[in-house]
Each structure stands twice: as C-alpha cells, then as structure tokens.
C-alpha cells in the first residue's frame, strides 16, 4: 500500500502515524510493518509528535548539516537535504501485536522532509508471524 504526503517547508516533520496504521491489514494479528519513503531527500523516524520537539529535531539537523558548501551543490543545490536524510534513513519497522502497531505511549511515525515543499510517497508493507 502507498500513500502521498504533501509538505509545506524545506525542512519539516509530518505525522504519518494514521496513514501507516491504516495500511495494516485487518486480518494481521502479529508481525511486522515497514514504512519506506521512496525519496533520497526525506526520511522516516519514530519519535514523539510534540511541536517543540519536532522543531528541535529540525533545528538539530540544520545545525548538524550546513545548508551550503557541499560538492553535490554544484549539481542541484540540495546536498544538505541528502545528508540530513542519510542521517535519518528512509524506513521504520514497527511490530504488530493484536492487530495494532506496537508503538509506545508517546511514539508516532514522522516523515522528515529535507527538501520541500514536495509531494512524498510512502510505501507500507506488512508480514505476519
């Protein structure tokens, strides 16, 4: 199953927990759910969906990876986006227990946009025990 996400800023996070949850088949009691973003300048993380923390994540990545000064910038000016996404990774895998994502109390699935605004595609696959 795939779904699209519209982002509205160059570096931002979007909660996609609801869409990932909806992709878990009704008949899957236990197993694994993997969500994968099909882009090299976006990533997925499991983290708390709290606005200040989301801002902290964005600031942390901005501080960690400078906006300019990378060799790839000569090609298309978005090396910072590739580097930030490489730190995060394109996927998350979450256990499924009793037909539900086994996320902790404060855990959400967040798409990290590093080169927006754009439309992103997330693919979700599941496998049962």
Q: Would the pLDDT of 88 be above 90? A: yes
State the pLDDT at residue 110.
98
State the pLDDT at residue 8.
97
pLDDT-based confidence at residue 23 (cuts at 50, 70, 90): very high
Q: Would the pLDDT of 73 be above 90? A: no
Average the pLDDT over 79-100 and give the result: 97
Distances (CA, A) of 88 to 22, 29, 41, 63: 23, 29, 10, 15
Q: Would the pLDDT of 71 be above 90? A: no
* pLDDT tens-digit readout, 55-68: 999 999 999 999 88
For residue 42, which of 10, 73, 66, 71 has the smallest C-alpha distance?
10
């Amino acid at each position: 199953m795939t779904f699209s996400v519209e982002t509205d800023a160059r570096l931002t996070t979007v909660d996609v927990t609801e869409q990932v949850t909806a992709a878990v088949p009704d008949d899957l009691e236990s197993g694994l759910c993997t969500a994968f973003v099909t882009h090299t300048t976006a990533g997925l993380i499991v983290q708390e969906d709290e606005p200040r923390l989301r801002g902290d994540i964005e600031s942390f990545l901005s501080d960690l990876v400078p906006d300019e000064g990378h060799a790839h910038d000569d090609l298309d000016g978005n090396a910072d986006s590739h580097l930030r996404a490489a730190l995060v990774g394109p996927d998350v895998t979450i256990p499924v227990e009793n037909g539900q994502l086994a996320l902790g109390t404060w855990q959400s699935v967040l798409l990290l946009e590093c080169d927006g605004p754009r439309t992103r595609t997330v693919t979700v696959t599941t496998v049962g025990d």
